[in-house]
């Protein structure tokens, strides 16, 4: 995983207290997610909308959905009780940038109350180019984009449709638009000096052989970390793939793809696929201690 020895010093200085990006930091600094953004503008075949976004979070989990005001109360309470808190992320439960009004309001209120907290956001990338300037103005310095393909012929096996500029697109056209928006958003972020991590969901038989090409493209465009996550396939999650018996990868398959991508953007191997309402150090989740009903009204 990322460490000071092999990252440019300026990048290391910015991520050293971010638990998701620095293997060292994840023992000492805490992060929390608030699930304020339920709407999503695409359909991934592996997603059931009843649950959190499967691109950034643990599939099959339903996080506590909060209004921006409730999220502020929760973040302030956690900051008072978890001194290691360094990062607030919004990772759904839908798409944080499509549901922009709620994401933006949450970030604005939290950074006014806790000015030194780092903000990060996850997205499927479709709405990303529209918000890069505002993200930069709000000093969001880490963004995660889920990129599962750089070839729309593969994309159409993963995404049945997208909703873009007021209309629904399907088939290859949908994946072509998504791909272009993801690449444009990535380039815009890098140009603004915002650090970009790329998540890819490894789907055996669909994009496994293709992920080295994804790694090469995102490396070329300046992503600093690539996180290859296994598809967690469970018919109970109601995945469309589940209908055709799509399975997740074995550990050996995941390692083989990671090894093939070894030459490009640095790979992240300690992501825990946290819930969209996770709280605490990576590897622990204190989210259930900070549900709204346990937080005093006085905050």
Cβ distance to ligand SF4 smaller for residue 102 or 297: 102
Cβ distance to ligand SF4 smaller for residue 224 or 299: 224
Q: Distance between CA atoms of 121 and 143, rounded to whole angstroms?
A: 5
31 scored as a contact of ligand SF4 (CB under 6 A)? yes
Strand order in the sheet with 266-267: 266-267, 225-230, 195-202, 142-146, 118-123, 85-90, 30-33, 279-280
| Token pair 């629904």 in the structure block, residue | 168
Which listed residue (273, 277, 280, 281) binds ligand SF4 by CB under 6 A?
273
124 scored as a contact of ligand SF4 (CB under 6 A)? yes
- CB distance 31 to 278 below 8 Å: yes
Cβ distance to ligand SF4 smaller for residue 42 or 132: 42
Cβ distance to ligand SF4 smaller for residue 247 or 296: 247
Question: Total residues at the site for ligand SF4 (CB under 6 A)?
Answer: 22
Which listed residue (147, 282, 287, 290) binds ligand SF4 by CB under 6 A?
282
Helix (H) / strand (E) containing 255? helix 251-260
Q: Which positions ≥6 away from 54 have C-beta within 8 Å?
A: 44, 46, 47, 201, 232, 237
Given the rule CB under 6 A, which of 53-61, 208-216, 246-254, 286-294 is the region that contacts ligand SF4? 53-61
State the minimum distance, in angstroms, from the CB of residue 283 to ligand SF4.
9
Show the 3-state SS of 113-141: HCCCCEEEEEECCCCHHHCHHHHHHCCCC
55 scored as a contact of ligand SF4 (CB under 6 A)? yes
Interacting residues with ligand SF4 (CB under 6 A): 20, 31, 40, 42-44, 47, 53-56, 89, 91-92, 94-95, 124, 271-274, 282
């Amino acid at each position: 995983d990322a460490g000071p020895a092999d990252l440019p010093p300026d990048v290391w200085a910015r991520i050293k207290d971010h638990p998701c990006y620095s293997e060292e930091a994840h023992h000492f600094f805490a992060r929390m997610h608030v699930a304020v953004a339920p709407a999503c503008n695409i359909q991934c075949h592996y997603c059931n909308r009843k649950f959190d976004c499967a691109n950034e979070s643990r599939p099959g989990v339903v996080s506590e959905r909060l209004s921006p005001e409730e999220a502020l109360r929760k973040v302030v309470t956690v900051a008072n009780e978890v001194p290691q808190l360094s990062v607030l992320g919004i990772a759904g439960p839908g798409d944080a940038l499509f549901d922009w009004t709620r994401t933006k309001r949450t970030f604005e209120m939290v950074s006014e109350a806790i000015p030194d907290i780092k903000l990060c956001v996850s997205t499927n990338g479709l709405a990303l180019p529209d918000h890069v300037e505002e993200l930069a103005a709000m000093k969001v310095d880490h963004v995660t984009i889920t990129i599962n393909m750089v070839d729309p012929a593969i994309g159409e096996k993963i995404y049945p449709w997208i909703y873009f500029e007021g209309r629904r697109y399907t088939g290859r056209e949908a994946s072509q638009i998504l791909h272009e928006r993801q690449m444009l958003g990535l380039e815009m972020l890098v140009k603004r000096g915002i650090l970009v991590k790329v998540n890819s969901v490894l789907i055996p038989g669909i994009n496994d052989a293709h992920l080295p090409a994804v790694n090469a493209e995102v490396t070329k465009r300046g992503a600093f970390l690539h996180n290859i996550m296994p598809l967690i396939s469970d018919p109970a999650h109601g995945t469309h793939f589940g209908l055709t018996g799509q399975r997740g990868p074995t550990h050996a398959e995941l390692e083989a793809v990671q090894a093939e991508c070894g030459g490009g953007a640095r790979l992240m191997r300690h992501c825990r696929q946290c819930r969209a309402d996770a709280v605490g150090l990576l590897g622990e989740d204190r989210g259930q201690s900070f549900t709204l009903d346990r937080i005093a009204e006085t905050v």
